[in-house]
């Protein structure tokens, strides 16, 4: 049986990781503000941006 | 206030620019240098961000805080499941899929019914979404000109209608440019990618303007907003909306694949699978960038227009205008226009393909009018239908916009469409990963989900617009409380979208699974299920031609292709197909399973798989394979068995070839051995006369006192041996020529009787010298034979001189007979010599085999005469043999066949 491509598997793993990170109840945790910015704003964009950065790293890695 | 003419000019100029981009994209595609790279592909996916994003996100943020982000988080997560999308693209390419309706229909046995149902759901679900885009453009014009009620007119025509008309024109030009309907729309994709850049720049510009222009950066803006309790609420997570949050993520994750325009750009317009690697992060990054400023703009707008009742959907325009930043407002207007036009163009192309292939074509194919147009070229008709469908869909959108008007906020309409296309999920994902899913199951699931969607979402939205009585929403139909449209079975406390999503997916999935498990697929369904689910396994091989059996005519299939693709493209595709099968001319192709498969795939690309199937089966006589047989063919074990059978056959062929080679090798070795024997014999034969010549010459040389008489005798022997040597060499050369086939032959009519008489006359002195009686019995009136006269003489002379050698002097007797028997002239030379044993009768024809005892007697011949004679007679098609017994003389006989009459 042929294994799926490692790139695809890593990306899918990122996607699966994103589901709990970007849903309640975890999204409900960051309340209040951080340096005047709403913590939820920072959290959502931070996690989102982090996922995108990791995806870029995985997808654009040379050789695979 | 902006000048109306300036705005019109700007819009026209922008349209012209878009036109140029699309034109450029098409020109490059025609030249074979596609501009659709990974970045363009990723940007074209951003057609997801419509005016609903551009204007509506801010509006949504003013009421729901950051919950608007779910619409963009879902697609991000979905895109990361890149394996699913790759599989979809792979299937679509293998099956020549043209739309999402085609995809679902092809999976479930190329069902026209299913294709039609998916098309209806898509059109009903999407038309409000198109209306939304028109409304957004109209609303932004209202804001620019500080008017209300979408009453702006140009030349007395409603400006929104004008926008719709221009969009229709653009869509027709770039969506149905080719007469053949199968090409990708590269110009359109390029234009959409360009628009994506424009709308992002415009939105970021207004975001920067609000954040740093009106306020003093993020921190300042958020700090001021936090001072107001109702705004602070928007900046905090709201766990009471956890259900809606999850529902929105799921809904948008489905929408990014199932919205017809997304399926179009992501799957149908995909040029290269590897582009996905870029899109998987670049598109989410785009979404992130276009959303960063949504909350700041929303909060800024709420604070700036506090108490003025401004429409939050137009904050992006009203905020710059309130600060006198008219240029920025224009840029935003263009950005909004980009968002709206991009969506409308792609969505309309996708829908028009579906309407044409899956609604219009099936109707046309059944109509008597088309039956009469048996020979006509339908490719123009096809394009015509598609153009009509574009106009029809945009008119529908315009009509909805005029009717629904202000009834709904932007955000509501978009989500209604999302929920409609989410109904495709069970049938499509099930079809990609579950072979058991059947057509009946897909139909049941879609119908159930669509019905629930209609009842819980679309009809209530009509009720809110006041078109129908809202009783069924508020108290339930016939006052049955648990049937209230937006609180089914008492499920309230959810927002209407989540409510619809959960109930419709439950009904959809439940019906799909239950009916699929309860029904048996037909043969075509089963084979399509296999091709979809195991696309990666099947892609490496040619289509399984065992899945089609029947009779087809090349001419009929080609005519069919010409009708729908047009003659030029048909020739082009036929030539390509012929090349792929190693033929130079497609007319040499047999109308076999592979050709039928090719024809159906080409048709599917033009009119969809369901209609293509119907058309192909109308001109071929197909055998129904039956489910059992199809399953057997598709069964992996049976495929392995088939391969091992093939392997066995190949192995047997290989063994046979090896056997032949071994035999050939043995023959070669034997020939080699014979050649060695021959050479050693020849050498031996040559040495014998040489030895005697040398011995006698030495004696003459060494002994000067030899008597003259003795000298004469020696010299006589030397001359005789030299002659024999010469003769021997001549005969060896002759034999070599005969055996190698290099001898020169003439073929003339020869009278065998005359040849024999001449030979007898020539050898007469020899016979007389030895005192041997020679007699001939030559039949009269013999027919002539076709032969080489000199060679024939050579054979007769050889036989006669052999005979005279072996008969005793004085009492010897040789009788020659010539007669005609069994279609051949028969020559016999009989002597009364010592005769031959049975072994000798065979061996005399071997080379260098002398008659008599070679050990005691001095050799009298070369031992090559008979082998040469046999070669000559063989060449004429006759036979040479000897009949003899020891002490009873020998009779050498040869035959030469007569010429066939008039041959």
Residue B441 DSSP one-character state: H
Distance CA B879, CA B874 (A): 6
Q: Which of A2, A4, A8, A50 to mutate to test the interface with B (most CBs of B within 10 A)?
A: A8
Q: What's residue A4's pLDDT?
A: 60
Contact A40 B78 (CB under 8 A): no
Whether the pLDDT of residue B303 is over 70: the answer is yes
Distance CA B116, CA B610 (A): 10
* Three-state secondary-structure class, residue B52: helix
Contact B249 A35 (CB under 8 A): no
User: Which distant-in-sequence residues (6+ apart) come within 8 Å of B680 by Cβ?
Assistant: none
Distance CA B249, CA B871 (A): 95
- The chain B residue lying nearest A56, using CA atoms, is B281
- State pLDDT tens for residues B307-318: 787 888 889 999
Size of the A and B interface in Cβ pairs below 8 Å = 110
Whether the pLDDT of residue B37 is over 50: the answer is yes
Residue B588 DSSP one-character state: G
Contact A40 B236 (CB under 8 A): yes
Q: What's residue B541's pLDDT?
A: 54
% pLDDT > 70, chain B: 91
Q: What's residue B903's pLDDT?
A: 40
Q: What is the mean pLDDT of chain B?
A: 84
Of A4, A9, A28, the CB nearest to B237: A28
Q: What's residue B562's pLDDT?
A: 83
Q: Residue B750 belongs to what H/E stretch?
A: strand B748-750
Distance CA B394, CA B476 (A): 34
* Residue B707, both tokens: 């008597």
DSSP code per residue over B113-180:
HHHHHHHHHHHHHHHHHHHHHHHHHHHHHHHHTT--SS--EETTEEHHHHHHHHHHHHHHHHHS-SSS
Q: Residue B862 belongs to what H/E stretch?
A: none
Whether the pLDDT of residue B815 is over 80: the answer is yes
Of B86, B222, B277, the CB nearest to A59: B277
Report phi then psi at A34, rounded to 5.
-135, 115
Q: Which residues of A touch B220 (CB under 8 A)?
A: 36
Whether the pLDDT of residue B856 is over 60: the answer is no
Q: Which residues of A touch B67 (CB under 8 A)?
A: none
CB B115 within 8 A of CB B105: yes
Chain B: which residues have CB within 8 Å of chain A?
A: 66, 69, 73, 76-83, 86, 218-220, 222-223, 226, 235-237, 239, 242, 245-246, 249, 277-278, 280-282, 284-285, 288, 292, 295, 536
CB B810 within 8 A of CB B794: no
Of A29, A33, A44, the CB nearest to B66: A44
In order of B85, B211, B461, B501, B636, the CA distances from B495 in angstroms are 30, 32, 13, 10, 48
Of A14, A36, A38, the CB nearest to B80: A14
Q: What's the whole-number mean pLDDT along residues B482-496? A: 80
% pLDDT > 90, chain B: 26
Q: How confident is the model at residue B294 (pLDDT cuts 50, 70, 90)?
A: very high
Whether the pLDDT of residue A2 is over 60: the answer is no
Distance CA B553, CA B530 (A): 28
Q: Report the alpha-carbon angle B541-B543-B544, nearest 5.
A: 100
Q: How confident is the model at residue B902 (pLDDT cuts 50, 70, 90)?
A: very low
Distance from CA of A37 to the nearest CA of B (A): 6
Distance CA B41, CA B27 (A): 18
Contact B81 A11 (CB under 8 A): yes
Domains of chain B: 4-406 (1.20.1730.10), 423-540 (no CATH), 547-615 (no CATH), 635-743 (1.10.287.130), 744-897 (3.30.565.10)
- The chain A residue lying nearest B81, using CA atoms, is A12
> Long-range contact list for B362-365, CB < 8 A, 24+ apart?
B362/B112, B362/B115, B362/B116, B362/B610, B362/B611, B362/B614, B365/B611, B365/B614, B365/B615
- Count the Cβ atoms, other than its own, within 10 Å of residue B353: 27
Q: How confident is the model at residue B181 (pLDDT cuts 50, 70, 90)?
A: low
- The chain A residue lying nearest B75, using CA atoms, is A15
Sheet holding B773-778, edge to edge: B773-778, B813-821, B824-831, B890-897, B880-884
Q: Which residues of A touch B80 (CB under 8 A)?
A: 11-12, 14-15, 18, 51, 55
Q: Residue B837 belongs to what H/E stretch?
A: none
Q: Which residues of B touch A7 (CB under 8 A)?
A: 82, 277
Chain A: which residues have CB within 8 Å of chain B?
A: 2, 4, 7-9, 11-12, 14-15, 18-19, 22-25, 27-31, 33, 35-38, 40-41, 44-45, 48-49, 51-53, 55-56, 59-60
Q: Classify residue B494 as left (phi > 0), alpha (psi -120 to 50) or beta.
A: beta
Report phi then psi at B813, rounded to 5.
-150, 130
Q: Report the alpha-carbon angle B579-B580-B583, nearest 5.
A: 40
Q: Which residues of A touch B284 (CB under 8 A)?
A: 48, 51-52, 55
Of A31, A44, A52, the CB nearest to B69: A44
Distance CA B133, CA B364 (A): 32
Distance from CA of B222 to the nearest CA of A (A): 6
Of B82, B236, B285, the CB nearest to A52: B285
Q: Which of A24, A29, A50, A61 to mutate to test the interface with B (most CBs of B within 10 A)?
A: A24
CB B118 within 8 A of CB B33: no
Distance CA B699, CA B720 (A): 17
Distance from CA of B265 to the nearest CA of A (A): 20
Q: Residue B566 belongs to what H/E stretch?
A: none
Distance CA A56, CA B902 (A): 88
Contact B80 A48 (CB under 8 A): no
- State pLDDT tens for residues B595-644: 888 888 888 888 888 888 888 887 777 776 666 766 666 666 666 777 77
Contact B278 A59 (CB under 8 A): yes
Lowest mean pLDDT among A23-27, B295-299, B334-338, B622-626: B622-626
- State pLDDT tens for residues B122-156: 999 999 889 888 888 888 888 888 765 555 666 66
Of A11, A27, A49, the CB nearest to B237: A27
CB B358 within 8 A of CB B118: yes
Q: Which residues of B touch A8 (CB under 8 A)?
A: 82-83, 86
Distance CA B869, CA B798 (A): 8
Q: Which residues of A touch B294 (CB under 8 A)?
A: none
Q: What's the whole-number mean pLDDT along residues B377-402? A: 87
Q: What's residue B228's pLDDT?
A: 87
Contact B281 A52 (CB under 8 A): yes
Of B601, B459, B453, B483, whose CA–CA distance to B531 is shortest? B601
Whether the pLDDT of residue B714 is over 70: the answer is yes
Using H for helix, E for strand and C for coil, what is the string for B444-488?
A: HHHHHHHHHHHHHHHHHHHHHCCCCCCHHHHCCHHHCHHHCCCCH
**Domain limits of chain A?**
6-60
Q: What's residue B636's pLDDT?
A: 63
Q: Which residues of A touch B249 (CB under 8 A)?
A: 19, 22-23
Contact A37 B222 (CB under 8 A): yes
Of B220, B282, B288, the CB nearest to A48: B288
Of A29, A40, A52, the CB nearest to B288: A52
Whether the pLDDT of residue B821 is over 60: the answer is yes
Contact B83 A60 (CB under 8 A): no
Q: Residue B825 belongs to what H/E stretch?
A: strand B824-831
User: Which distant-in-sequence residues (6+ apart) come within 8 Å of B239 by Cβ?
Assistant: A24, A25, A28
Q: Which residues of A touch B282 (CB under 8 A)?
A: 56
* Three-state secondary-structure class, residue B826: strand
Distance from CA of A29 to the nearest CA of B (A): 8
Q: Which of B39, B82, B636 to mutate to test the interface with A (most CBs of A within 10 A)?
A: B82
> If you compute the radius of gyration of chain B from its CA atoms, what whole number of angstroms results?
49
Distance from CA of B546 to the nearest CA of A (A): 24
Q: Which of A11, A20, A60 to mutate to test the interface with B (most CBs of B within 10 A)?
A: A11
Q: What's residue B884's pLDDT?
A: 85
Contact A2 B80 (CB under 8 A): no
Whether the pLDDT of residue B854 is over 50: the answer is no
Whether the pLDDT of residue B262 is over 90: the answer is yes
ipTM of model: 0.94
Of B83, B226, B277, the CB nearest to A60: B277
Distance CA B42, CA B36 (A): 10
Contact B81 A41 (CB under 8 A): no
Q: Which residues of B touch A1 (CB under 8 A)?
A: none
Distance from CA of B363 to the nearest CA of A (A): 43
Distance CA B725, CA B715 (A): 15
Q: Which residues of B touch A45 (CB under 8 A)?
A: 288, 292
Alpha helices in B583-742 (DSSP H): 593-607, 609-619, 627-634, 636-702, 708-740
Distance CA B290, CA B282 (A): 12
- State pLDDT tens for residues B561-572: 888 887 888 888
- State pLDDT tens for residues B753-793: 888 888 888 888 888 888 888 888 888 888 888 888 888 88
């Amino acid at each position: 049986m042929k294994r799926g491509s490692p790139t695809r598997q890593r990306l899918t793993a990122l996607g699966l990781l994103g589901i709990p990170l970007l849903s309640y109840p975890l999204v409900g945790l960051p309340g209040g503000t951080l340096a005047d910015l709403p913590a939820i704003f920072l959290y959502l964009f931070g996690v989102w941006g982090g996922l995108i950065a990791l995806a870029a790293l995985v997808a654009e890695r040379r050789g695979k | 206030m902006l000048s109306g003419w300036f705005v019109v000019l700007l819009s026209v100029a922008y349209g012209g620019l878009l036109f140029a981009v699309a034109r450029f994209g098409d020109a490059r595609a025609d030249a074979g240098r596609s501009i659709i790279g990974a970045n363009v592909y990723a940007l074209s996916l951003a057609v997801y961000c419509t005016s609903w994003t551009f204007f509506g996100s801010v509006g949504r943020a003013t009421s729901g805080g950051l919950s608007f982000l779910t619409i963009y988080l879902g697609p991000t997560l979905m895109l990361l499941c890149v394996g699913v999308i790759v599989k979809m693209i792979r299937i679509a390419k293998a099956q020549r899929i043209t739309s999402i309706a085609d995809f679902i229909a092809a999976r479930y046995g190329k069902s026209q019914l299913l294709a039609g149902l998916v098309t209806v759901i898509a059109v009903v679900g999407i038309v409000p979404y198109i209306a939304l885009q028109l409304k957004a453009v109209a609303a932004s014009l209202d804001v620019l000109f500080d008017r209300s009620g979408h009453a702006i007119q140009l030349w007395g025509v409603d400006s929104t209608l004008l926008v719709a008309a221009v969009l229709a024109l653009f869509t027709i030009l770039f969506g149905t440019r080719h007469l053949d309907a199968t090409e990708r729309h590269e110009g359109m994709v390029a234009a959409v990618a360009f628009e994506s850049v424009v709308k992002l720049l415009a939105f970021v510009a207004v975001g920067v303007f609000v954040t740093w222009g009106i306020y003093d950066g993020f921190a300042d803006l958020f700090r001021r907003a936090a001072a107001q309790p109702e705004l602070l609420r928007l900046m905090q997570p709201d766990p009471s909306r956890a259900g809606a949050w999850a529902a929105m993520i799921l809904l948008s994750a489905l929408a990014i694949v199932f919205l017809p325009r997304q399926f179009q750009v992501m799957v149908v317009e995909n040029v290269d699978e590897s582009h996905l690697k870029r899109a998987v992060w670049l598109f989410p990054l785009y979404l992130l960038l276009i959303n960063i400023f949504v909350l700041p703009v929303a909060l800024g707008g709420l604070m700036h227009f506090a108490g003025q009742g401004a429409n939050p959907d137009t904050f992006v325009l009203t905020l710059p205008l309130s600060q006198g930043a008219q240029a920025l407002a224009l840029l935003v207007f263009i950005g909004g226009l980009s968002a709206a036009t991009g969506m409308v163009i792609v969505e309309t192309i996708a829908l028009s393909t579906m309407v044409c292939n899956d609604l219009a074509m099936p109707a046309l194919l059944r109509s008597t009018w088309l039956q009469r147009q048996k020979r006509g070229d339908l490719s123009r008709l096809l394009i015509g239908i598609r153009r009509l469908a574009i106009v029809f869909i945009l008119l529908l959108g315009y009509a909805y916009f005029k009717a629904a008007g202000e009834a709904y906020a932007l955000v509501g309409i978009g989500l209604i469409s999302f929920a409609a296309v989410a109904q495709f999920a069970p049938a499509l994902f099930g079809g990609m990963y579950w072979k058991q899913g059947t057509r009946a199951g897909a139909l049941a699931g879609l119908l159930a989900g669509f019905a629930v969607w209609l009842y819980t979402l679309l009809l209530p939205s009509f009720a809110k617009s006041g078109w129908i009585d809202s009783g069924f929403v508020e108290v339930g139909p016939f006052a049955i409380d648990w049937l209230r449209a937006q609180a089914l079975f008492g499920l309230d406390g959810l927002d209407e979208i989540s409510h619809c999503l959960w109930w419709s997916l439950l009904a959809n999935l439940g019906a799909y699974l239950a009916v699929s498990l309860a029904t048996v697929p037909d043969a075509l369904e089963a084979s399509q299920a296999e091709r979809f689910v195991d696309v990666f396994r099947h892609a490496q091989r040619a289509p399984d031609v065992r899945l089609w059996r029947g009779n087809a005519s090349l001419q009929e299939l080609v005519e069919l292709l010409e009708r729908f693709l047009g003659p030029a493209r048909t020739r082009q595709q036929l030539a390509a197909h012929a090349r792929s099968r190693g033929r130079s001319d497609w007319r040499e192709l047999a109308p076999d399973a592979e050709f039928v498969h090719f024809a159906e795939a080409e048709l599917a690309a033009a009119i969809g798989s369901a209609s293509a199937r119907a058309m192909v089966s109308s001109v071929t006589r197909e055998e129904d394979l039956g489910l059992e047989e199809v399953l057997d063919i598709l069964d992996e074990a049976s495929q392995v068995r088939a391969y091992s059978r093939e392997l066995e056959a190949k192995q047997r062929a290989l063994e046979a070839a090896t056997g032949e080679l071994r035999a050939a090798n043995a023959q070669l070795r034997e020939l080699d051995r014979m050649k060695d024997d021959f050479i050693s014999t020849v050498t031996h034969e040559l040495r014998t006369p040489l030895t005697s010549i040398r011995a006698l010459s030495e004696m003459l040389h060494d002994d000067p006192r030899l008597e003259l008489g003795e000298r004469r005798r020696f010299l006589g022997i030397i001359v005789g041996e030299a002659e024999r040597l010469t003769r021997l060499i001549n005969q060896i050369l002759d034999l070599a020529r005969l055996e190698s086939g290099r001898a020169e032959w003439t073929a003339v009519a020869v009278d065998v009787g005359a040849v024999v008489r001449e030979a007898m006359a020539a050898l007469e002195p020899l016979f007389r010298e030895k005192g041997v009686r020679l007699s001939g019995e030559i039949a009269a009136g013999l027919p002539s034979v076709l032969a080489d006269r000199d060679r024939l003489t050579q054979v007769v002379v050889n036989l006669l001189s052999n005979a005279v050698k072996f008969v005793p002097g004085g009492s010897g007797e040789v009788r020659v007979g010539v007669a005609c028997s069994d279609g051949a002239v028969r020559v016999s030379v009989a002597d009364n010599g010592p005769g031959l044993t049975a072994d000798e009768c065979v061996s005399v024809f071997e080379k260098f085999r002398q008659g008599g005892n070679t050990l005691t007697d001095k050799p009298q011949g070369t031992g090559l005469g008979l082998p040469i004679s046999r070669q000559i007679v063989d060449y004429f098609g006759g036979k040479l043999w000897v009949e003899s017994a020891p002490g009873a003389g020998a009779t050498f006989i040869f035959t030469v066949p007569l010429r066939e009459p008039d041959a």
